Amino acid sequence: MTTPVWVPRKRRGAEFFLTVLAVFIGIAAYASVGLGVEGTIPSDTYKLGGALIVVAIATHLVVRRVAPYADPVLLPLVIALNGLGLAMIYRIDLGYQQVNPDWKALANGQLMWTGFGIVAFALVLIVVRDHRRLQALTYTFGFAAIVLLILPLLPGIGRNIRGARIWIGIGPFSFQPGEAAKICLAIFFAGYLVVKRDALALAGRRFAGIDLPRGRDLGPILAGWLLSMGILIFQRDLGSSLLFFGLFVVLLYIATERPGWLVVGALLFAAGAYMGYLAFGHVQVRVNAWLDPFSDPDKNYQVINGLFGLAHGGLLGQGLGQGSPNLTPFGFSDFIAASLGEELGLTGLMAVLMIYGLIVERGLRIALTCRDAFGKLLAAGLALSIAIQVFVVVGGVTRLIPLTGLTTPFLAQGGSSIVMNWAIIGLLLRISDQTRRPAPEISTFESDEATQVVKLS
With cut-offs at 50, 70 and 90, classify the pLDDT of residue 211.
low
Rounded average pLDDT over 428-436: 93
CA distance 208 to 318: 51
Give CA 35 to chain center in angstroms.
Answer: 31
Determine the Cα–Cα distance for residues 425 and 363; give it in Å rounded to an integer.
9
Instruction: Using alpha carbons, list the distances in angstroms from residue 251 to 224, 345, 420.
Output: 12, 35, 20
pLDDT, average across residues 367-391: 95
Residue 8 in this model has a pLDDT that exceeds 70: no
Q: What contacts 24+ positions apart, CB below 8 Å, involve 442-445?
A: 442/5, 444/7
Q: pLDDT at position 203, please?
A: 65
Point out the least confidently predicted range of 55-59, 385-389, 418-422: 55-59
pLDDT in tens, 104-133: 889 888 999 999 999 999 999 999 999 999
Secondary structure tally for the chain: helices H, strands E: 14, 8
- Tens of pLDDT, residues 129-146: 999 999 999 999 999 999
DSSP sequence for 54-76: HHHHHHHHHHHHH-TTS-SSHHH
The arithmetic mean of pLDDT across residues 259-265, rounded, is 87
3-state SS class at 170: strand
> 451 - beta bridge partners?
7, 446
Examine the pLDDT at 380 and tell me if it is beyond 90: yes
- In DSSP notation, 315-330 reads TT-S-TTTS-GGGSTT
347-372 pLDDT per residue, tens: 999 999 999 999 999 999 999 999 89
**Looking at residue 445, what is its pLDDT?**
43
- The confidence score (pLDDT) of residue 395 equals 94
Alpha-carbon distances, residue 68 vs 5, 9, 375 (angstroms): 19, 9, 18
Asked if the model's pLDDT at residue 312 lies above 80, the reply is yes
What is the per-residue pLDDT across 163-173, written as a single tens digit (0 to 9) for each? Answer: 777 888 877 77
Per-residue pLDDT, 102: 85
* Across 200-220, average pLDDT: 70
**Among the listed ranges 76-90, 228-242, 395-409, which one has the minimum average pLDDT value?**
228-242
**Cβ–Cβ contacts within 10 Å for residue 356, how many?**
21
> Given its phi and psi angles, is residue 350 left (phi above 0), alpha (psi -120 to 50 degrees) or beta?
alpha
Q: What is the pLDDT of residue 5?
A: 56
pLDDT for 187 beyond 60: yes
d(CA 374, CA 371): 9
- For the segment 100-105, the average pLDDT, to the nearest whole number, is 86
pLDDT tens digits for range 53-65: 888 989 999 999 9
pLDDT tens by residue, 318-340? 999 999 999 999 999 989 999 99
Of 369 and 162, the one with more pLDDT: 369
Provide the pLDDT for residue 212.
Answer: 67
Average predicted confidence (pLDDT) for the chain: 87
Cα separation of 380 and 376, whole Å? 6
pLDDT score of 441 more than 90: no
Distance of alpha carbon 382 from alpha carbon 183, whole angstroms:
7
* pLDDT winner (highest mean) among 28-37, 209-218, 275-284: 28-37
Q: Compute the distance between CA of residue 109 and CA of residue 419 in angstroms, rounded to an integer.
A: 12
Residue 75 — very low, low, confident or very high, per pLDDT cuts 50/70/90? very high
Closest CA to 280 of 401, 109, 163, 160: 163
Give the DSSP letter string of 366-377: HHHH-SSHHHHH
Cross-strand pairs, 2: 456
pTM, rounded to two decimals: 0.91
pLDDT exceeds 70 at position 2: no
Is residue 434's pLDDT more than 60?
yes
Beta strands across the sheet bearing 158-161: 158-161, 164-170, 173-175
Question: Which residue type occupies 385?
Answer: S
pLDDT computed for residue 204 by the predictor: 62
Residue 209 banded pLDDT, cuts 50, 70, 90: low
Average confidence (pLDDT) over 27-55: 88
**What residue type is 298 in one-letter code?**
D
The per-residue pLDDT for 248 is 92
Which one has a higher pLDDT value, 261 or 355? 355
The whole-angstrom separation of Cα 33 and Cα 90 is 8
| Mean pLDDT, residues 415-422 taken together | 93
Q: Are 432 and 366 in contact (CB under 8 A)?
A: yes
